[in-house]
Structures are given as structure tokens and as C-alpha cells.
Structure 1
Amino acid sequence: MEEKNFSATRASKGFTLMEVLASITILSIVAIGMFSFFTNAMKYTTYNQGKTVAINIARGVLAYMERLDFAALKQYVDNEIQRSDKPFVHLDASYCDDLPLFGDNEQACKKILGPTINNVAYDETRIHVFLVPYNDSKTWDKLRESPPEEFPASLKKRISEESIKNPDPKLQNYLLKIYVIVRWGDRVDDSEWLEGVIANETIR
């Protein structure tokens, strides 16, 4: 009987420790990259959402202030500037129950100047209204020299570059300059701002 020789089959090789470690390292690098991508995407989305909300709030505040009685508002601004010797009047939600400017509807005032949106309370620390006499060069120079601390850098730059184009003093009786600032982040510069002019009802 013929004898057959059977050779043992060679066992297939497994992964070495170095190969396993290299694979883990590569997967970790890919995972970290993906995590950073999603983190940055979430930050960017939050950033844009904050800016959009702030701009919409500022527009609402500006529209609300434009509907107030101009004569009462102008008288209040003139008296406060004379009393405080500041080139502006600062208003926020804390004034809603103190000033007759806002009428009898205190709740409406607080909803405009202190709303809560997306579980974020935009109170008097976040929403600021500044009223400045129109076409008053002396007041304007003071404002440029010492702007309020609530002004973001972009607004300070805008004011420093702006000049009075029409020096007619009669316009002071019919117009008020207004700046609405809404801070959506933790820093002063995390703010959106709008500027406008409040006009006397007789020339609207």
C-alpha cells in the first residue's frame, strides 16, 4: 500500500500588535476630524442664529420707538441731556414702568424691549436704545469722543467717520437720531445694531 505524505497546512497569519495600533490611530484621527467638523458647523449655525434674532429684535424696537409721541420723546431727551451733560439718552426695558413715554401699556413695552426668544432673555443687559439730538454738532463731537461702553467696535467706527451733512439747526426740532443695539453673545462686540431717525409726526 502506497503511503501518502500529508504536510500540515500553514496557519493564516493574524494582525500584529503594530497593525492594530496603527488602525486605531488612523480611526482616531478620522473621528477627531469629523467631530471638529460637526462642532464648527454647530458653532456657525448658533452664530448665524444669534445674529438673525438680534437683527429682528432691533428692527422691532426701532419700529416701536418710531411710533411713540415725538414731542414727548424730544422733550425728554432735551431734559435728560441737559441734566446729565451726556451726549445721549439711554433707554432699556427697565424704563418701561417709569416713563410716560411708553404710554399705559407697560407689558407691550417690556415685550419689545425685553423679549424672551429661544429660551434666551433679552433683558436690559442685552437691548439698548440710544437717542441723540439730530444735527447738534456739539453733542455729536461729545459722542465721538466718549461713546457709550455698550457700543460695539463697528458702531464706534461708524460714528467716528460720520459727519453732519446738513447743519440746518431747524432739523433738531423735527428729528432724533436713534441707535438700537442688541447683544446676542457674551461680548460687547457680539452685538447687532441699527441706526435710524425718528421724525416728528407733522413731517412723516
Structure 2
Amino acid sequence: MKYIKIVKNDRGFTLIELLVSITILGIVLLSFMNFFLQSSTYTNANQKKTVGVNVARNVLMFMEKQNFLEIRNYFHDVNTGDKSSEADFLTLLICDEKYKLFSDSSTESEINNTCPKKKNITINGLEYEAAIFSEEVSTPGEMDYYIPITVKVRWNINDREYSTTVDGKIKSEDIR
């Protein structure tokens, strides 16, 4: 009998009950909205990193198509020369809608003379800088057959620098 009286009660909710329930609902929804905001930010950052990895893979594939002897001679001189191998690298830029390699010893004026309309790799409005490094080999004879390289790709978002690397090997045509 009491149950029927509660159901038939026509008094409704008080203003305080409504405000408390709206406040609790707002707190719960706010926490869920924060979760979606964080996941969106994380997904966006991972998307850019995935593009960076794909750019590095593309650069690695481009390097595999280059003349093995020229690349070997450049990196062999770097690894056996007086300069530190950490400072010597190749930079890949887009010049006349094609990839073009420049050494780190190239001056800005030399690059501008060779390619006046140079630009970095741009995907979805974001510029990616690609640099190619050679790793040290245990014996110098190893570079006769393959060159271990690392492609480092960097990009900036909101004045913060991000980077990713991909390791690979360029094989000589003699062992293909």
C-alpha cells in the first residue's frame, strides 16, 4: 500500500534536488569529455608519428635505389676520415618535384645554386626534415657489400620538436 502512495505522489522534485542531480550529471559528463579530449590528442600525435615513420621508410627506399658506390664512398670517407661520423650526414630535400641528396658540408649558397626552389617533405601541411646517417661498421670490408644507415625524420608542432628513426641497410648490386 505504501508503494502505491509513492507512485501516486504528485508533488514532483524540489529545486535543490534538480540542482544536485544536474551537478552530479555535469561532473560525470565532464570526466568523460576529458577522456575523449586526451584520446583525440594522443591519436593526432600518433598519426603524425606514423607519417614520420612512413617518410623515413620512403627515404630508405630512395637510398636503396641510389648508386651504391657513390653512397659507399661518401660514408666510407666519413667513417674513416678525420671528422666525426656523428656530424656527417646526408639531407634529403625536394628539388623540382624530385628527391635530391645534399651533404652536410654543402653550404646554403651551394644548395640554392643547385636547387633554388628546395623544400622539405610536406605531408598534410606539416614539414618533415629527413637526414641520413651511416652507422659504424665492425670491419671496413663490410662496406663493400652493404651500408648500415639510419634515417632520422624530424618535425615541429607548436614549437616542440618530434623525431623518429628507421634503421636499414643498402645492399651492393654485387650480392643482389
TM bucket by the smaller chain?
A: 0.5 to 0.7
Mapped contact 2:89–2:133 kept (Cα < 8 A): yes
Cα drift, residue 58 of structure 1 = 1.3
- Which of 54, 57, 66 matches 1:56? 54
Mapped contact 2:88–2:133 kept (Cα < 8 A): yes
User: Residues 45-124 of structure 1 correspond to what in structure 2 (within 5 A)?
Assistant: 45-81=43-79, 82-86=81-85, 89-93=88-92, 96=100, 98=102, 114-122=120-128, 124=129
Cα drift, residue 17 of structure 1 = 3.8
Distance 1:97 1:48, change over 3 A: closer
- Where structure 1 has 5 or more consecutive residues not aligned to the other structure, the ranges are 1-11, 100-105, 137-168
Cα drift, residue 13 of structure 1 = 4.2
Cα drift, residue 62 of structure 1 = 0.4
Mapped contact 1:88–1:131 kept (Cα < 8 A): no
Cα drift, residue 76 of structure 1 = 1.5
**CA displacement 1:8-32 (0-9 Å, x = unmatched):** xxxx646434213202211211220
Distance 1:196 1:175, change over 3 A: same
> Relative contact order: is structure 1 or structure 2 higher (C-alpha 8 Å, sep ≥ 6)?
1
Distance 1:75 1:97, change over 3 A: closer
Q: Which residue of 2 aligns with 1:39?
A: 37
Distance 1:170 1:79, change over 3 A: closer
Where 1:45 maps in the other structure, the secondary structure is: helix
Where 1:93 maps in the other structure, the secondary structure is: strand
- How many angstroms apart in 2 are the aligned matches of 1:121 and 1:87? 23
Cα drift, residue 46 of structure 1 = 1.3
Cα drift, residue 43 of structure 1 = 2.1
Cα drift, residue 130 of structure 1 = 0.9
Mapped contact 1:88–1:132 kept (Cα < 8 A): no
- How many angstroms apart in 2 are the aligned matches of 1:98 and 1:59? 18
Mapped contact 2:91–2:101 kept (Cα < 8 A): no
Q: Of the two, which has the highest radius of gyration?
A: 1
Q: Which residue of 2 aligns with 1:131?
A: 134
Distance 1:40 1:69, change over 3 A: same
Aligned CA RMSD, in angstroms, stands at: 3.0
Percent of counterpart pairs with the same letter?
Answer: 37
Cα drift, residue 44 of structure 1 = 3.2
Mapped contact 2:152–2:164 kept (Cα < 8 A): yes
- How many angstroms apart in 2 are the aligned matches of 1:65 and 1:97? 9
- How many angstroms apart in 1 are the aligned matches of 2:127 and 2:155? 10
Cα drift, residue 185 of structure 1 = 6.4
Mapped contact 1:58–1:193 kept (Cα < 8 A): yes
Q: Output the TM-score relative to the length of structure 2.
A: 0.67
